[in-house]
């Protein structure tokens, strides 16, 4: 018989991309006001691995990754995604997003993103939100899944997440 175990707290990681870098200041400010201080920030990363968002957001697009100091309950991810959806709407112009915000959480063994879209590998977590198993940590590094978004499968993002994982292990004590 398996005995239910309480879930470990998770490291909140939010990636966002946009065309106008100046908008990042306001986006980060809103995220920090709601979610607390940032622990680790990536440099600007090129977002050129897909053209999926070009019609809506233009080009070139730039990605930034943030890891937050405060650990979260894994069950908080759905509400955080709803909040980031509201932020996306707030900064939209003529029903076109100016920023795309991807909240997720990191544990020792995996990285999970929140999404409003169902798919075969996504698990419903409440409030019309699904959890996407994006990366798994095996053999000392993150590994992509067949469905991992190209930018999250990039070396830059996986290296950033490995830094965050090291800090997360320290945070757990």
Q: Which residues are 144's β-sheet partners? A: 135
Distance CA 63, CA 60 (A): 10
Model confidence pLDDT, tens digit, residues 63-113: 999 999 999 999 999 999 999 999 999 999 999 999 999 999 999 999 999
**SS3 breakdown of the chain: % helix, strand, coil, rounded to 5?**
30, 35, 35
Nearest one of 13, 9, 18, 26 to 157, comparing CA atoms: 13
Return the domain boundaries, the chain: 10-172
Return the sign of the alpha-carbon dihedral for residues 145, 147, 149, 150.
positive
Cβ atoms of 144 and 170 closer than 8 Å: no
Beta-carbon count within 10 A of 123 CB? 10
Band of pLDDT at residue 51, cut at 50, 70 and 90: confident
Residue 119, classified by CB atoms within 10 Å of its CB into exposed (0-12), middle (13-18) or buried (19+), is exposed
Return all residues near 120 (Cβ < 8 A) that are at least 6 apart. none
CB 45, CB 64: distance < 8 Å: yes
pTM exceeds 0.85 for this model: yes
Residue 89: the pLDDT is 98
Contacts within 8 Å (CB) and 24+ apart, 144-148:
145/121, 147/119, 147/121
């Amino acid at each position: 018989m398996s005995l239910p175990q309480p879930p470990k707290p998770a490291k909140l990681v939010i990636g966002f991309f946009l065309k106008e870098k100046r908008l990042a200041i306001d986006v980060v400010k809103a995220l920090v006001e709601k979610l607390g201080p940032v622990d680790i920030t990536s440099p600007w990363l090129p977002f050129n691995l897909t053209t999926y968002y070009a019609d809506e957001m233009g080009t070139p697009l730039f990605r930034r990754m943030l890891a937050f100091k405060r650990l979260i309950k894994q069950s908080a991810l759905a509400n955080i995604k709803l909040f980031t959806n509201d932020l996306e709407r707030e900064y939209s112009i003529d029903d076109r997003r100016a920023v795309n915000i991807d909240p997720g959480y990191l544990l020792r063994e995996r990285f999970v993103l929140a999404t409003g879209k169902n798919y075969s590998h996504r698990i419903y977590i409440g409030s019309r939100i699904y959890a996407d198993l994006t990366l798994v940590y095996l053999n000392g590094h993150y590994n992509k899944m067949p469905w991992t978004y190209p930018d999250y499968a990039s070396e830059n993002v996986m290296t950033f997440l490995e830094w965050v994982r090291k800090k997360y292990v320290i945070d757990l004590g």
